[in-house]
C-alpha cells in the first residue's frame, strides 16, 4: 500500500522496488523520471503523518524507516485508559463504588484519586492488580483518616483520647491544615500514587510530624 498523503510524492513498495506516486495517483518509475534509478539524491518519505527527506535507500530499509516514524504510540488515549481503569475497578475487591466512599463528604474527589491511583498501576495497556489493591487500601486509609479526625472532634469525652488525638480534637483548625499540607505533598509528587496521601493523612490524629504539641511547663 502507498504510504503518506497530501501534496508530497508517496513512496510505494511493490515487488522489491521503490516507485513514486504523483498527485494524480499514477506511478512513475525512477528510470522514467531521471533515466537513472540512483540519480535522485533524496526521496520524500511520508508515513504516519510525518514527512522526511533523505538519501535514496534500498526498499527493504525504507520499510524499516517507515516503521520508526511514529506509527505506533506507546501512550494510550485518555478514553482507553479510563476504560481499562473502570474494568479493573469492577474486578477489584472493592468494586466500582467502594463502601468507604460513604465516609467522606467528597466522594467525587476520592473517586478521581482512585482513578489516578489505578492509572499509576497501568503498564503495557493493563492494570497491575497487586499494585491496584495497594492503591485501593491507600485511598481507603486516606478517607478514614479524615473521617476519624472529624468524628473525634465531635466526641463529648475527648479525655478518653490519646494526648495528640485529644490535642487535634480540641483544636479544630489543625486537621484542615494538615490535610491541606498532605494534599499539596500528594500533588507535588504527581497526584497519582495514593500511598503518599495515605501515609501523610494516616498519621493525622496520632503522631503526624505536622502536628506540634504544646511544650509542657
Q: Which tens digit of pLDDT belongs to each residue from 67-84? A: 433 444 467 788 899 999
Return mean pLDDT, the chain: 73
Residues 117, 86, single domain; the answer is: yes
* Residue 208, domain member (yes or no): no
**Do 179 and 113 sit in the same domain of this protein?**
yes
User: How many domains is the chain partitioned into structurally?
Assistant: 2
Residues 172, 100 share a domain: yes
Distance CA 114, CA 138 (A): 9
d(CA 206, CA 97): 29
Helix 163-170 to helix 129-153 angle, to the nearest 10 degrees?
70
pLDDT digits (tens, 9 = 90+) for 137-152: 999 999 999 999 999 9
Indicate whether 179 belongs to any domain: yes
Same domain? For 54 and 98 the reply is no
Query: Is residue 216, in this structure, part of any structural domain at all?
Result: no
CA-based R_g, the chain, Å: 30
Whether 63 is in a domain gets the answer: yes
Instruction: Assign 3-class secondary structure to 189-203.
Output: CCCCCHHHHHHHHHC
Q: What is the pTM of this model?
A: 0.62
Instruction: Look up the domain containing 28 and give its range.
Output: 10-67
Which run of H or E residues covers position 167?
A: helix 163-170
On whether residue 195 sits in a domain, the answer given is: yes
Amino acid at each position: 500500500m502507498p504510504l503518506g498523503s497530501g501534496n508530497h510524492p508517496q513512496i510505494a513498495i511493490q515487488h522489491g522496488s521503490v516507485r513514486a506516486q504523483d498527485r494524480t495517483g499514477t506511478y512513475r518509475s525512477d528510470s522514467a523520471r531521471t533515466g537513472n534509478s540512483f540519480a535522485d539524491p533524496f526521496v520524500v518519505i511520508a508515513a504516519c503523518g510525518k514527512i522526511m527527506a533523505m538519501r535514496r535507500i534500498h526498499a527493504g530499509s525504507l520499510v524499516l524507516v517507515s516503521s520508526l516514524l511514529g506509527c505506533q504510540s506507546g501512550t494510550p488515549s485518555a478514553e482507553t485508559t479510563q476504560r481499562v481503569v473502570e474494568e479493573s475497578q469492577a474486578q477489584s475487591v472493592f468494586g466500582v463504588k467502594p463502601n468507604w466512599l460513604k465516609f467522606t463528604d467528597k466522594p467525587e474527589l476520592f473517586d478521581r484519586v482512585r482513578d489516578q491511583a489505578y492509572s499509576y498501576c497501568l503498564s503495557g495497556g493493563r492494570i497491575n492488580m497487586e499494585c491496584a489493591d495497594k492503591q485501593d487500601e491507600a485511598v481507603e486509609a486516606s478517607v478514614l483518616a479524615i473521617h476519624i479526625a472529624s468524628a473525634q472532634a465531635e466526641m463529648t469525652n475527648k479525655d478518653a483520647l490519646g494526648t495528640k488525638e485529644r490535642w487535634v480534637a480540641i483544636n479544630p483548625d489543625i486537621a484542615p491544615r494538615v490535610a491541606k499540607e498532605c494534599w499539596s505533598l500528594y500533588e507535588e509528587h504527581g497526584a497519582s500514587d495514593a500511598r503518599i496521601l495515605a501515609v501523610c493523612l494516616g498519621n493525622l490524629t496520632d503522631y503526624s510530624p505536622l502536628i506540634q504539641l504544646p511544650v509542657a511547663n
